[in-house]
Amino acid sequence: MRKLFEFIRSIYVVVLFVALEVAAISYYAHSTHYTQARLLARSNQVAGGVHGFFAGIRRYFSLGHENRLLLGRVAQLEERLAQYEEAETNARLDSYMQDIGESKYRFVTASVVANTVNRAQNLITLNRGRQDGVVEEMAVLSPDGAMAGYVVDCTERYAVAMSVLNTSFRASGKLADAEYYGSIYWDGLDQNVVILGELSKYADPKPGQEVVTTGFSQYFPADVLIGWVESASLNETRTAYTVRVRLAAEMSRLNEVVLVGNRDFYEIRNLQQSEQIEQHTRND
- Exposure b/e, 152-163, CB count within 10 A at least 16 = b: bebeeebbbbbb
For residue 278, CA distances in Å to 272, 274, 282 come to 8, 6, 6
Q: Which of 47, 78, 227 is nearest to 148 (CA)?
A: 227
pLDDT (tens digit per residue) in 140-166 = 999 889 999 999 999 999 999 999 999
| DSSP state for residue 146 in the 8-state scheme | B
Nearby residues of 230 by Cβ (< 8 Å), 6 or more positions away = 193, 207, 243, 244, 245, 246
Strand, helix or coil at 122? strand
pTM score, whole prediction = 0.61
| The pLDDT of residue 5 | 59
Examine the domain organization and report whether 127 and 181 are in the same domain. yes
Please indicate, yes or no, if residue 278 is contained in any of the structural domains: no
Q: Report whether 145 contacts 212 (CB < 8 A).
A: no
Examine the domain organization and report whether 156 and 57 are in the same domain. no
Q: Which of 120, 145, 160, 113 is nearest to 255 (CA)?
A: 113
Examine the domain organization and report whether 47 and 87 are in the same domain. no
Count of structural domains, the chain: 3
Examine the domain organization and report whether 49 and 80 are in the same domain. no
Please indicate, yes or no, if residue 19 is contained in any of the structural domains: yes
Examine the domain organization and report whether 18 and 155 are in the same domain. no
Examine the domain organization and report whether 200 and 249 are in the same domain. yes
Q: How far apart are the first and last CA of the chain?
A: 139
Please indicate, yes or no, if residue 122 is contained in any of the structural domains: yes
pLDDT (tens digit per residue) in 8-39 = 666 666 666 666 666 666 666 565 655 555 65
**H-state helical runs in 115-185:** none
Q: Report whether 123 contacts 251 (CB < 8 A).
A: no
Where in the sequence is the domain holding 68, given as residue range(s)?
Answer: 63-99
Least confident of 3-17, 190-204, 243-257: 3-17
Q: What is the mean pLDDT of the chain?
A: 79
